[in-house]
Amino acid sequence: MNIIIIIFALVLMQNVEPLKDKNQKDTVIMKELTKEEKRVLIDKGTELPFTGEYNDNKAEGVYLCKLCGAKLYLSADKYNSMCGWPSFDDEIKGAIKRQIDADGIRTEIMCANCGAHLGHVFKGENHTLKNVRHCVNSISMIFKPTKEVAIFAGGCFWGVEHLMQQQKGVISAVSGYIGGTVENPTYKQICTKETGHAEAVQITFDPTLIDFETVAKLFFEIHDSTQEGGQGPDIGPQYRSEIFYTSESQKEIAEKIISELKGKGYDVKTKVTSATTFNVAEAEHQDYYETKGTEPYCHTRKKIF
């Protein structure tokens, strides 16, 4: 069955030259399709309205072709047309190929990179100023968010924040508190060492520019993960080493990195914990070293990967 699916896909891709646009993949990536994916992507079927995974998706990101991974649409161009399928009033330049549908009336849209069936395009409905509606099957796409959040505790948050926000792909780094039992804690309360909180930094990054593994490895290179109960001269539970994951994928990657470090001989003390409420620290703790114009006293980067 898998051989038949691949043959169908190859037939569709005949005479379709890979795009050279920098936003597209220039090689076709074959994947194993489910029966329903084949029905839509290869046999040009349609999923039932209001059943697709992305019909109500409002997250920021980019939509890729399910078959080859080429970029198709940006979330900024998605709108609610109330038709039951994801709707876009624009496409990424060069991403979409059009042809008259088999019914001789509608215009079919396909991935220009591999020829996979996406849906149909309509004009003149006056839903948006662009007056165009790309009606796309959710099952024909994969959504990749342009923002992901990760939370790291590795000693004084001033230094972690300072070094993290210099990394390309990091959108923002915010100092705060997490992992304790007191609601809306203050810095003064944290310093009593009785709230259970850690000084931490919430990192928002663009996963199309940098992945979680890269961010996590940077975290291990800017602090001493083998020190327990503090970091450098800063001693206390609030200065502990801990990764607060926001997804199962982050958890798996963090644990894999720790296992790798232990294999290198590092006695890693870093804990991996599911993220709870992150409380933003007071204004005077944000962008501390940028404001002061100095470098961290207890955080420097040491290459270990």
Which CATH number fits the domain that encloses residue 14? Answer: 2.170.150.20
Instruction: Give a yes or no: residue 264 inside a domain.
Output: yes
Q: How many CA atoms lie within 13 A of 291 on its CB side?
A: 9
135 assigned to active site = yes
**pLDDT at position 17:** 38
Q: Which of 65, 68, 135, 298 is catalytic?
A: 135
Last residue of a domain, one of 115, 145, 175: 145
Please write the tens of the pLDDT for every residue from 81-136: 999 999 999 999 999 999 999 999 999 999 999 999 999 999 999 999 999 999 99
Total number of domains constituting the chain: 2
* DSSP strands (E only) in 161-305: 170-178, 198-205, 230-231, 234-235, 241-245, 271-274, 279-280
**pLDDT at position 146:** 87
CA distance 107 to 263: 57
Mark the ranges of the chain whose per-residue pLDDT is less than 70.
1-31
> Do residues 196 and 260 both lie within one domain?
yes
> Do residues 139 and 155 both lie within one domain?
no
Q: Three-class SS of residue 200?
A: strand
User: For the stretch 184-196, what's the b/e string if a residue is b when 16 or more beta carbons lie within 10 angstroms of its beta carbon?
Assistant: ebeeebbeeeebe
Nearest to 91 by CA among 59, 119, 58: 119
**pLDDT at position 21:** 39
Q: Which of 83, 156, 191, 298 is catalytic?
A: 156
CA distance 113 to 28: 7
> In the predicted model, what is the mean pLDDT of the chain?
91
**pLDDT at position 2:** 47
pTM over 0.75: no
Q: Is 206 exposed, middle or buried (0-12, 13-18, 19+ CB in 10 A)?
A: middle
**pLDDT at position 20:** 37
**Owning domain of residue 139:** 2-145
**pLDDT at position 25:** 42
114 assigned to active site = no
- Specify the amino acid at residue 292: K
> Do residues 12 and 58 both lie within one domain?
yes
**pLDDT at position 297:** 87
Last residue of a domain, one of 123, 145, 167: 145
**pLDDT at position 258:** 98
Calculate the alpha carbon distances from 184 to 18, 70, 76, 92 in Å: 53, 44, 34, 43
> Do residues 136 and 155 both lie within one domain?
no
Last residue of a domain, one of 145, 180, 198: 145
